[in-house]
Amino acid sequence: MLASSSTVLWYTMRATGIVSLVLLSATMVLGILTAGRAKSRSWPAFAQADLHKRVSLLAMVFLAFHVLTAVIDTYVSVGWMSAIVPFASPYRPLWTGLGTVAVDLMLAVAVSSALRQRISARTWRGIHWLAYGSWPVAMAHSLGIGTDASKLWMDGIAALCTSAVFGALAWRIVGHRRARERAAQVGAITRAVPVRGDARTPPALGRRPDRTGSAPSPSAATRPQHQRSATRLLEKDRP
Ligand code: HEM
């Protein structure tokens, strides 16, 4: 079995662990921003999604080095099995096991993303939610086992990662609530208006297509007032 012990290996393991944690946190932030449809002229949605994907791949590369060096280094006895099977490590089984759980969850997310075209969107989204579980577990592993966990700079890195992820989550929850309130307002406006001719449904909620198959779009000036308000409210939520 491949095994070795050296200062280089030990430092590489610790350094790649810390870089993995930072990249994993960045992946979470980018994922939350993309899912919440964060808007910016200089940073379009496709660029966010692309960056999210690339940073997650980079996190996996550093993680692979971290696990490999942890297993190879005989300074601690982690064992090959614990790279995949949680709590199988003779060295600090609980904390090392949490690292393995985080890796397993990340692998499930990565594999489902690779198979995205072949599985349903619902299944993919369900598995992708596991990412929300992997991040806190990885953080617990990092702070519970790390030699550097007691150092101020490591606490600073952990605090920065935590506030970035929680900040993004708070932004998403607030945005989601606002979108729901707007949808409720749109519903109230459309219900409150008496049904007359085809003025029942605002165009943004789906008008019947004409004979050519395309939905007719009356000019803003000719649309009834309630339709214009509903359309404006809906447009606020568009990515
Ligand atoms: C998402 C998964 C993981 C992340 C983000 C992660 C990150 C980290 C971090 C930040 C440290 C602290 C380094 C230091 O303080 O210098 C660490 C330590 C460690 N990790 Fe991981 N790790 C993960 C998974 C794993 C797995 C699967 C294993 C084992 C197979 C493992 C084995 C270890 C060991 C043995 C240490 C102890 C280093 C020490 O005692 O200082 N890690 N990890």
Question: Of 71-85, 126-140, 206-220, which range is least confident?
Answer: 206-220
Nearest to 160 by CA among 185, 186, 182, 142: 142
CA-wise closest residue to 33 among 47, 21, 54, 23: 47
In sequence order, the β-bridge partners of residue 73 are 4
pLDDT tens across 17-54, in order? 999 999 999 999 999 998 887 777 777 778 888 999 99
* Average per-residue pLDDT for the chain: 84
CA 146 to chain CA centroid, Å, is 25
CA-proximal residue: ligand 1, atom 27 (nearest):
100
Q: pLDDT band at residue 121, thresholds of 50, 70 and 90? A: very high
Cβ–ligand 1 contact at 142 (below 6 Å):
yes
pLDDT value of residue 239: 44
Non-local CB neighbours of 70 within 8 Å, separated by 6+ positions: 13, 17, 76, 78, 96
CB atoms within 10 A of CB 130: 16
Q: Does the Cβ of 18 fall within 6 Å of ligand 1? A: yes
Any ligand 1 atom below 6 A from CB of 92: no
pLDDT tens per residue across span 178-222: 888 888 888 888 877 765 555 455 555 545 555 544 555 555 555
Give the whole-angstrom CA distance, residue 189 versus residue 216.
21
DSSP symbols for 167-226: HHHHHHHHHHHHHHHHHHHHHHHHHHSPP-TTTTS-GGGTPPP-TTSSPP---TTTS-HH
**Which residue among 98, 145, 153 has the greatest number of ligand 1 atoms within 8 angstroms of its CB, and so is best to mutate?**
145
Q: Give the start-to-end residue ranges of the domains of the chain.
A: 7-153
Distance between Cα 141 and ligand 1 center (Å) = 7
